[in-house]
Amino acid sequence: MTDHPIDENEPEASAIAQLTDALALKDREGLLGLMDEAHEADVADQLEQMSSEQRRAIVDLVPEAVTPDILAELEDEVLEDVLPRLGDQQIADALSEMDSDDATAVVEELQDDRREDVLSAMPASDRRAVEDSFTYEEETAGRVMQREFVAAPDFWTVGQVIDHMRAQGDNLPEIFFNIYVVDARLHPTGYVPISQIMRQPRERKISELLEPLLVKIPQDMDQEDVAYQFSKYHLISAPVVDVYDRMIGMITVDDIVNVIQDENTEDMLALAGVSDAGLTDTALSTVKSRAPWLFINLLTAILASFVIAIFQDDIQAVVALAILMPIVASMGGNAGTQALAVAIRGLAERDLTRANAVRAVRREFAAAIMIGLIFAAILAVITYIWFGEVEKLPQVVFIAMIVNHICAGLSGILVPLGLKRVGADPAVSSSVFVTTVTDVVGFFAFLGTAALLLF
Amino acid sequence: MTDHPIDENEPEASAIAQLTDALALKDREGLLGLMDEAHEADVADQLEQMSSEQRRAIVDLVPEAVTPDILAELEDEVLEDVLPRLGDQQIADALSEMDSDDATAVVEELQDDRREDVLSAMPASDRRAVEDSFTYEEETAGRVMQREFVAAPDFWTVGQVIDHMRAQGDNLPEIFFNIYVVDARLHPTGYVPISQIMRQPRERKISELLEPLLVKIPQDMDQEDVAYQFSKYHLISAPVVDVYDRMIGMITVDDIVNVIQDENTEDMLALAGVSDAGLTDTALSTVKSRAPWLFINLLTAILASFVIAIFQDDIQAVVALAILMPIVASMGGNAGTQALAVAIRGLAERDLTRANAVRAVRREFAAAIMIGLIFAAILAVITYIWFGEVEKLPQVVFIAMIVNHICAGLSGILVPLGLKRVGADPAVSSSVFVTTVTDVVGFFAFLGTAALLLF
């Protein structure tokens, strides 16, 4: 029985404490034992949660503890610390042991000038598999796929397939779920789940068990689209084909789970204006990942201030305007972000498409009017209680809130739809436009209405 | 060869157009043909993207076109439209055909008063499986699991397992990946991937192939934690055990992909202040899902306005304060949201834990100082160019920006960590606190510094 850290008390913290204790004592044997006993995914997690200095010290002390399995589990930022501390031959041997998709991910993190040395220390066939991966674009099916798969011609019987697999032994992928049926030109024509093969008599023809392929993944398909296919059709694995429709590899769902998590992280951080940040980052890289969006926000905030400046005489005359205007802008900003988050998530999950975009926009418009009316009324009453009616402030607030909520709701959905239409990533660039609209419109609607009604 | 909609041009739109055309003509045969030809996941997508009225009309016209496979694919909001239009017996038959996890998801959407009628139209054994599911809490392993799995005692040989599966035939789950080995008391002791069994000689003992279980999922584990286990250990399926450690079901990775997507949607929308919204919602439910957060935001915005009101005389004296104060508040708000998004994502992916929390807070603090200094300097220069130095405004801006950035960065990480510590969901409640801090501190730091330096 294995006992794994799945409870609330984070036994990982104690595992990490054990590692750092052994490190402090420079206890090589202790470190080797701890890293050997734990599952590779746990060791990878523990290394990730240490400081950069700690994990570098561990690798320096016991480089041999970093097994191929552990290496395959490490995240990019951790690989950057670990790889420079391992020998070319150790890395080359590890790469040869991994499935080709994992090997590719590790080679991606090798320094350019070292890549050649490591690759030349690998056996020719393994080396070729890795080099081939690099002919595909990053984040496409060709990079994510593994080259190891099991294929059979459709005239075979269940018995022949089983005998073939017994004969192949170690040449097969470590784990697989489907046998792909290919024709003489290597075009995949269908598949048979191995759980089906196992329950059939040996003489049964494979062609009788053939299931049609729901999806063939083109080699250059974006990994986000691949993930969508997996999630939509509940795929466990899918064949990857080249431009001639020949099967060149397969993608399995466990790799897709990582792709989904990565893409979700990217979208969520992009919505908050953070590019490409990880928690293993340093303070400096944190600054780098956040400064660009803050700089753009500074510009749009200054733009909004120009709007305020236009009305500075009015503010000086009625200082209550300065007190109330941030409320209107803030409400619009939040409503815009709400609409935007829903739209971006809908686009990512393909729930928001051309087929229902018009309906979605209409719904946002209707919702914005309702929300605008509700909160305009509430804020008008509060304004009346606070400042009285003397300056028509309740009316000003009421009108400005409705205008700003409508602009916020509409820009929250139209901006991402428009960006998508012109081929930009709506998750990355929408926020800028939506906040600009809600800030500028918020102040302008409020102060402009005030100027009209009051002066 | 199948040809599925995976290109950019959204062939779904044309499939939906075909369906709605057939609906307009009340062409029963046409509708049946279209829905029968397409994959159930595609039909489900198409129904989801129609308006509520359209899909209700289709189901009214051709209820028999809604096959068990399609029913299992529909999202909750669509089920609410479809189920009331199907007969008790049709639903009961469909439930009997589904794997128990899919059946449970459908029954969850049945009206309470109808549930009994539908269940009583099911064969006793299928009925019991569904009823048992409801003894587990929503969103726990017991609800997500399927009761169908393949288990074998460890003294069997490969040949015996294969013969057993051939004999069982249709009683086995449709697709499975592992044979679980259980002892006489049904405790799972390990598993064998079927791709391993197939390549072994018939006389090989199962016990020699046994792989240790990385994870046994307790029946009451939260589905988010289950998803984490799958993603961490790259699991394809995992056994679910009851409180006596007896195997009662299994969870497969394709169901987990949906859980991951749902949890990610929840987190992303929660960060933007949207509860529980879908794109199939009506305008009214859109309002309901967004109003609560907007109401709270109104309160915190008013709180910030009180701060402004304290300094209204100063603003009247120097109206430039009113022009500049939204910039300081907006920059702090954005910086806080950035830190918050990174922290929430780190918590969700278990990259931010007790083991590295202190380091993460220290890094946010350092980053906030750097970011604060950079943008304080930029804004001070802009302020100088805009307003000159007469009122010490550049100094005021400089100090206020640094103070607000530090508060924003620290609250962005300390609030979610604190909420997590007290057992609340950081994704849901953090935003309120962080925006309150950045708004109130933003205005107070700016106007307070101004009052000190200027007057």
Cβ-Cβ contacts under 8 Å, B350 against chain A: 45
Is the CA virtual torsion B248, B250, B255, B260 positive or negative?
A: positive
CB contact under 8 A, B302 and A256: no
Closest CA to A144 of A266, A249, A277, A267: A249
Element (H, E) at B320: helix B320-348
Residues B236 and A236: beta-carbon distance below 8 Å: yes
Model pLDDT, residue A388 = 85
Within 13 Å and on the Cβ side, how many CA atoms surround A375?
Answer: 34
Complex-level ipTM: 0.87
Phi, psi for residue B241 in degrees, rounded to 5 = -120, 155
Is the CA virtual torsion A40, A43, A49, A51 positive or negative?
A: negative
pLDDT higher than threshold 70 for residue B26 = yes
- Burial pattern A403-416, b for ≥16 Cβ within 10 A else e, equals bbbbbbbbbbbbbb
| A151-254 fold | CBS-domain (3.10.580)
Parallel/antiparallel/unpaired status of strands B237-241 and B217-218: parallel
State both tokens at B420.
């997590």
Of B6, B297, B363, the CB nearest to A334: B297
pLDDT, tens digit, for every residue of B185-220? Answer: 999 999 999 888 888 888 999 999 999 998 999 999
- Give me the mean pLDDT over the B292-315 stretch: 94
* Nearest residue of chain A to residue B368 (CA atoms): A287
* Nearest residue of chain A to residue B8 (CA atoms): A225
Q: pLDDT (tens digit, 0 to 9) for every residue of chain A, 455 residues total?
A: 333 334 444 667 788 889 999 999 999 999 999 999 999 999 999 998 888 889 999 999 999 999 999 999 998 889 989 999 999 999 999 999 888 888 988 998 888 889 999 999 999 988 888 888 889 998 899 998 988 888 999 899 998 988 888 887 667 777 788 999 999 999 999 999 988 888 888 899 999 999 999 899 999 999 999 999 999 898 999 999 999 999 999 999 988 998 998 889 888 998 888 886 555 568 888 898 999 999 999 999 999 999 999 999 999 999 999 999 999 999 999 999 999 999 999 998 888 988 889 999 999 999 999 999 999 999 999 999 999 877 789 999 999 999 999 999 999 999 999 999 998 889 888 988 998 899 899 999 999 999 999 87
pLDDT higher than threshold 80 for residue B4 = no
Of B49, B168, B301, the CB nearest to A199: B168
Q: Where is average pLDDT lowest: B117-131, B279-293, B427-441?
A: B279-293
Model pLDDT, residue A454 = 84
Helices (H), B169-252: 194-198, 206-209, 223-233
Model pLDDT, residue B262 = 87
Q: What are the sequence ranges of the domains in chain A?
A: 11-143, 151-254, 283-454
We find that the CATH architecture of domain B283-454 is Orthogonal Bundle (1.10)
pLDDT higher than threshold 50 for residue B320 = yes
- Residue-wise DSSP of B50-71: S-HHHHHHHHHH-GGGS-HHHH
CB contact under 8 A, A294 and B370: no
Of A41, A261, A330, the CB nearest to B349: A261
Which of A195, A215, A381 best tests the B interface by mutation, with the highest count of B CBs <10 A? A195
How far is it, in rounded angstroms, from Cα B229 to Cα B225?
6
Is the CA virtual torsion B393, B395, B400, B401 positive or negative?
A: positive
Of B334, B366, B443, the CB nearest to A294: B334
CB contact under 8 A, A198 and B162: yes
Question: How many Cβ atoms are within 10 Å of A7's Cβ, its own excluded?
Answer: 10
How far is it, in rounded angstroms, from Cα B296 to Cα B95?
43
Of A12, A39, A327, the CB nearest to B302: A327
* Of the options 1.25.60.10, 1.10.8.60, 1.10.167.10, 2.40.50.100, the CATH number for the domain spanning A11-143: 1.25.60.10
Within 13 Å and on the Cβ side, how many CA atoms surround B36?
Answer: 10
For chains A and B, CB pairs below 8 A equal 379
- Give me the mean pLDDT over the B249-276 stretch: 88
Residue for token pair 């967004």 = B290
How far is it, in rounded angstroms, from Cα B296 to Cα A398?
18
Cβ-Cβ contacts under 8 Å, A322 against chain B: 308, 312, 315, 319, 321-322, 325
Cβ-Cβ contacts under 8 Å, A197 against chain B: 198
Residue for token pair 């956040």 = A290
* Nearest residue of chain A to residue B314 (CA atoms): A319
| B11-138 fold | MgtE N-terminal fold (1.25.60)
State both tokens at B249.
């079901």
Confidence (pTM): 0.87
Cβ-Cβ contacts under 8 Å, B45 against chain A: 232, 350
How far is it, in rounded angstroms, from Cα B62 to Cα A446?
53
How far is it, in rounded angstroms, from Cα A138 to Cα A335?
36
CB contact under 8 A, B316 and A319: yes
CB contact under 8 A, A316 and B316: yes
Model pLDDT, residue A277 = 54
Q: What is the identity of the amino acid at A170?
A: D
State both tokens at B165.
């599966």
How far is it, in rounded angstroms, from Cα B372 to Cα B340?
17
| B151-269 fold | CBS-domain (3.10.580)
* Minimal C-alpha gap between B424 and chain A (Å): 13
Question: How many Cβ atoms are within 10 Å of A167's Cβ, its own excluded?
Answer: 9
Of A257, A282, A323, the CB nearest to B260: A257
Within 13 Å and on the Cβ side, how many CA atoms surround B206?
Answer: 24
CB contact under 8 A, B10 and A353: yes
- Give me the mean pLDDT over the B217-234 stretch: 93
